[in-house]
Amino acid sequence: MAYIDSTQKYQRMLSNYTRTGIEAKIPGTKQEGIARYRTMIYNVVNDSLSTAYPLAKKLLTKDEWDNMVQHYFSSHACVSPYLWKMPFEFFEFVKENESELLTKYPFLSDLLLYEWVEIEVFMMEDVEVSFSKIGSIASDALVLNPSCILQYFQYPVYSKVATEITSSNQAHYFMLTHRNPETNLVRFMEVAPMFARMIELLDERPFTIEELTNQFSTESKIEISQTIKTNIESFFKKCLTKEIILGFKN
């Protein structure tokens, strides 16, 4: 008999059982052992998600969390061979498939994303960039730390305790998450929309502050006053101190 007709069928039945908990009659199995697989696998997934999303887990009731994890694992095919990346699939699943929970907790998706971004920035691969520590903040092109992510949120999940967030907090928030190249610690910084756009530009290539200012002014059709220019320079000085800006183009 061909592999596809026999062995494969039982493998699928067992795998499906471990994901859904729906019992399958597979010949020659021992019930106690088969049930253990279901428990162990569910625990691996639940532990991984609980570790990745402690704030979301704390926000939800036990039943809400358990049902969400069960719904996810039984109906979503986890594609990543890397267990540490699996929680990102959970975030995407919740965003698309948990409308009831998202109605009760409109900021849940933002909260999950905030927690995921911390993991992603902490774990992301090192990217070597060329820059000089010596230069002028006012006139040299700035080199952005490649270990950073700029993220848009509708709720201030990074600055308020989840249980205190209400619909009145809904607005446009931009958060810059970066990994310090020396300490490897992850840090968060809320940034104004103007700075968010400038960071986006720096993510493409190094720019001087003047170039960034002109580009932003052109795009937004906003005239940049001297006071704002001073604020922009202060912002990037702060970024340089925090190693969000690593230095200057060679």
Partner 1 sequence: MVGIGFRKDFAKDFLSTTTLRPDFIEVAPENWIGIGGFWKKKLHEALEKYPLYTHGLSLSIGSPDELDFELLKGVKKFLTETGACVYSEHLSYSKCDNAHVYDLLPIPFTSDAVKHISKRIQTVQDFLERKIAIEIVSYYSPVAAEMSEIEFVNAILEEADCDLLLDVNNIYVNGFNHAYNPNTFIDALPLERVAYIHMAGHDQVSETLIIDTHGEAIIDPVYDLFEYTMNQLQRDVPVLLERDFNIPHLSELQHEMDRLKKIKVTSLTKEFHGIHR
Residue with tokens 């698309």: 96
- Which member of 77, 136, 204, 223 binds partner 1 (CB under 8 A)? 77
Residue 27 or 204 having the CB closest to partner 1: 27
Question: Cβ-count burial of 168 within 10 angstroms (0-12 exposed, 13-18 middle, 19+ buried)?
Answer: exposed
- Which member of 159, 184, 214, 234 binds partner 1 (CB under 8 A)? 184
Specify which residues 132 forms β-bridges with.
Answer: 248
Q: In angstroms, what is the minimal distance from the CB of 1 to partner 1?
A: 6
Contacts 24+ apart (CB under 8 A), 129-132: 129/246, 130/250, 131/246, 131/247, 131/248, 131/249, 131/250, 132/247, 132/248, 132/249, 132/250
Q: Is 139 in the site for partner 1 (CB under 8 A)?
A: no
Q: In angstroms, what is the minimal distance from the CB of 116 to partner 1?
A: 15
- The DSSP annotation for 76-91 comes to S----S-GGGHHHHHH
Cα four-point dihedral sign 153, 159, 165, 168 = negative
Q: Is 6 in the site for partner 1 (CB under 8 A)?
A: yes
Interface map 86-125 toward partner 1 (x if CB under 8 A): x-----------------------------------xxxx
Residue 79 or 171 having the CB closest to partner 1: 79
Q: Is 25 in the site for partner 1 (CB under 8 A)?
A: no
Helical (H) or strand (E) element with 114: helix 108-123
- Which member of 110, 114, 140, 147 binds partner 1 (CB under 8 A)? 147
Alpha helix positions (H), 152-225: 193-204, 209-220
Q: In angstroms, what is the minimal distance from the CB of 51 to partner 1?
A: 12
Structure tokens at 146: 């490649």
- Which member of 21, 26, 95, 154 binds partner 1 (CB under 8 A)? 26
Q: In angstroms, what is the minimal distance from the CB of 131 to partner 1?
A: 17
**Helix, strand, coil in percent for the chain, rounding step 5:** 55, 10, 30
Q: In angstroms, what is the minimal distance from the CB of 102 to partner 1?
A: 24
Query: What are the residues binding partner 1 (CB under 8 A)?
Result: 1-4, 6-8, 10-12, 14-16, 18-19, 26-34, 36-37, 40-41, 44-45, 48, 76-84, 86, 122-127, 147, 179, 184
